[in-house]
Amino acid sequence: MTEKTARSNLAFPHRHLLGIEGLSPDEITLLLDLSEAYVEQNRLEDKKKSTLRGRTLINLFFETSTRTRTSFELAGKRLGADVINMSIATSSIKKGETLLDTAITLNAMHPDVLVVRHPYSGAVKLLSEKVNCAVINGGDGSHEHPTQALLDALTIRRRLGRLSKLTVAICGDVLHSRVARSNIHLLNTMGAHVRVVAPPTLLPASIGRLGVEVFHDMREGLRGCDIVMMLRLQTERMKGSFVPSIREYFHFFGLDYDKLSVAKEDALIMHPGPMNRGIEIDSELADDVGRSVIQEQVEMGVAVRMACLETLASNGVVGSAR
Ligand code: NCD
């Protein structure tokens, strides 16, 4: 056991990253601080390190993804790991293999980290109980998406210098959003004031227990806020109709310059992507580099995932019998 491994294990005493809920402010800060160094490294011509040389990362995505999967792939490769991407379309899942059989099969190949995205809340935790390696939740149903919340936090911290005491309005389809849930946990843990702005049909019944202020009107919810975080209308998770019409949704809940005018003058706009232009956000505003940090969020994603991979891979050496 090297000194470095022992230190990181003490500071981040978790084998897996399944969610933000339960992480302490110090643990979140540790991951964000480590990410900072990778932001710089990723801007260099030579972006490669050998920190994870000899280690194997498997991306196991049971749902479509552009940003998260490529970001984890780049993160692993830039740290020198061998990276395998499992495409569900060509895997034995199509032949009816269960989630746990797939997990046990992959586990037999001795990966060091598994990044898993799955349409069911709780599926990633279940899988983590069957394998010897570290598991990172790449998004499970409408439950959690921890690396998204971390990359959002890094984007905010780099722009505004802190997370505490900021007012963040999370707007739109909160009901189906794992991004919202992970962000609510992270921002509350770090001392920010969190508001959610949505029609009652797009809020979970449990919203009152999440420690947020609830608004059903964009102008009231956005008044004086530092950050406006927009969410995609997740129609693929909707059974039945949750909004009367797309036109009406944009009219009342779509972000445009007019609604944004009540937020702080320099309020930043965020969106995890993929965006529905003209549905939850005005297209011109989404591209307005003076206000929108959407591309910066993507950049921070690679750095945050490098920090998470490094932290968990070094914990694994100490924790596992291998
Ligand atoms: C989000 C996700 O998959 O939960 N996207 C992402 O990871 N960048 C949000 C979404 O799909 O709307």
pLDDT digits 0-9 by tens, 139-161: 999 999 999 999 999 999 999 99
Give the residue-averaged pLDDT of 299-317. Answer: 90
Q: Which residue has the tokens 């009342």?
A: 252
Pocket test for ligand 1, best of 145, 152, 176, 231 (most atoms within 8 A of CB): 145
Give the residue-averaged pLDDT of 280-299. Answer: 97
Flag the least confident range among 15-24, 58-67, 186-195, 303-312.
Answer: 58-67
Residue-level pLDDT at 50:
96
Q: Which atom of ligand 1 is nearest to the CA of 232?
A: 12
Answer yes or no: is the C-beta of 148 below 6 A from any ligand 1 atom. yes
Residue with the bigger pLDDT between 119 and 91: it is 119
Chain centre to alpha carbon of residue 286: 19
- Nearest protein Cα to ligand 1, atom 1: 272
- Whether 173 has a pLDDT exceeding 80, the answer reads yes
- Nearest protein Cα to ligand 1, atom 12: 232
3-state helix, strand, coil in the chain (%, to 5): 45, 15, 40
CA nearest neighbour of 168 among 151, 187, 186, 150 = 187
Answer yes or no: is the C-beta of 305 below 6 A from any ligand 1 atom. no
- Could you tell me the two tokens for 8? 């990181």
According to DSSP, the β-strands at 227-230 and 167-171 are parallel
What is the spatial order of strands in the sheet that 227-230 belongs to? 213-215, 193-197, 167-171, 227-230, 268-270
CA nearest neighbour of 220 among 262, 160, 264 = 262
- Whether 82 has a pLDDT exceeding 70, the answer reads yes
Pocket test for ligand 1, best of 62, 68, 300 (most atoms within 8 A of CB): 68
Strand-pair partners of 60: 86, 116
Give the residue-averaged pLDDT of 177-199. Answer: 98
Q: Which atom of ligand 1 is nearest to the CA of 67?
A: 8
Answer yes or no: is the C-beta of 237 below 6 A from any ligand 1 atom. no
Q: Give the pLDDT band (50/70/90) at residue 116.
A: very high
Give the residue-averaged pLDDT of 37-66. Answer: 95
Give the residue-averaged pLDDT of 209-226. Answer: 98
- Whether 5 has a pLDDT exceeding 70, the answer reads no
Answer yes or no: is the C-beta of 199 below 6 A from any ligand 1 atom. no
According to DSSP, the β-strands at 213-215 and 193-197 are parallel
Residue 82 makes CB contacts below 8 A (sequence gap 6+) with: 55, 56, 57, 76
- Whether 245 has a pLDDT exceeding 90, the answer reads no
Using CA atoms, how far apart are residues 284 and 300, in angstroms rounded to an integer? 23
Residue with the bigger pLDDT between 134 and 66: it is 134
Pocket test for ligand 1, best of 117, 142, 148 (most atoms within 8 A of CB): 148
Q: Give the pLDDT band (50/70/90) at residue 171.
A: very high
Q: Give the pLDDT band (50/70/90) at residue 72.
A: very high
Answer yes or no: is the C-beta of 145 below 6 A from any ligand 1 atom. yes
The mean pLDDT of the chain is: 92
One-letter identity of residue 97 = E
Give the residue-averaged pLDDT of 43-63. Answer: 96
Residue-level pLDDT at 213:
98
Between the alpha carbon of residue 220 and those of residues 164, 224, 268, the distances in Å are: 22, 9, 17
Q: Which atom of ligand 1 is nearest to the CA of 234?
A: 12
Q: Which residue has the tokens 């049909």?
A: 201
Residue-level pLDDT at 316:
59
Q: Among residues of the chain, what percentage have pLDDT more than 90?
A: 83
Q: How many CA atoms lie within 13 A of 31 on its CB side?
A: 30
Residue with the bigger pLDDT between 73 and 9: it is 73
Residue-level pLDDT at 319:
37
Centre of ligand 1 from the C-alpha of residue 129, in Å = 25
- Whether 7 has a pLDDT exceeding 80, the answer reads no
- Whether 2 has a pLDDT exceeding 50, the answer reads no
Centre of ligand 1 from the C-alpha of residue 131, in Å = 25
Answer yes or no: is the C-beta of 76 below 6 A from any ligand 1 atom. no
Q: Which atom of ligand 1 is nearest to the CA of 138?
A: 7
pTM: 0.94
Residue-level pLDDT at 94:
66
